Structure 1
Amino acid sequence: NPFETRDGEIGAKARQKGAGAAAAELLPGVRLVRAFNAIGYATMGEAHKRPAGERYGMPMAGDHAKALELAAKLVREIGYEPVVIGPMKTMGNHLLPGTALAGERSPDEIRQIVKTLK
């Protein structure tokens, strides 16, 4: 995640443009998926301990179906339930600390929040 205080001008521009869009510009041709961005790293190590029906959701944004499939597999392997929230251009910037999707939430809670985002 880009932060102006840590990354300087490039971080500020990436936040303004959208982290996913900025990364895609820097890496042309890459099939980018934003996931693992809205949940703090400190809690990720415990996710696998939750029963399958009680998993937290992992919001993901991307534009390529196969890339999203691969990311969803990785998300499930560490113990989260993938929730595709939409394309990178419109939803990628909602996957940052401090946004409505930040933190651990159920898949249904994520879907409800996404309905309120623009």
Structure 2
Amino acid sequence: MQKLALFNPSDMNLKVDFTTIKTVTSPVNGSPVKKPVVLFTKRGAFKTRSLNQQYQVEGTSLSDTLVIGVRHDPKIVKTLGVTVKGINYTIEDISPDETNHYIAFDLLTIKKVTK
């Protein structure tokens, strides 16, 4: 029995930058500033939760999070940041696809960075 793909290639319409925080020198006054620096980029897509899933996360720390899917990559870890459409997010949870399929997707639960 063949497993259906989680995403179609045409669904992968987001540019997802994986970032880390580096201290760089400000060009304005020369002071050190912490800034996200892009390590690598992947294509991704938002994954909508079912109503049942949405009700389960309501009232938890995951209630204001989003889920995106990207092609499986072992370099993706929780310590990385994510930038999608110019908005910075932290990775709250990773659901990696460790199967032996030639097309595998990781589901990332991300939360918007608030200052």
TM normalised by structure 1 equals: 0.25
Structure richer in strand, relative to its length? 2
TM normalised by structure 2 equals 0.25
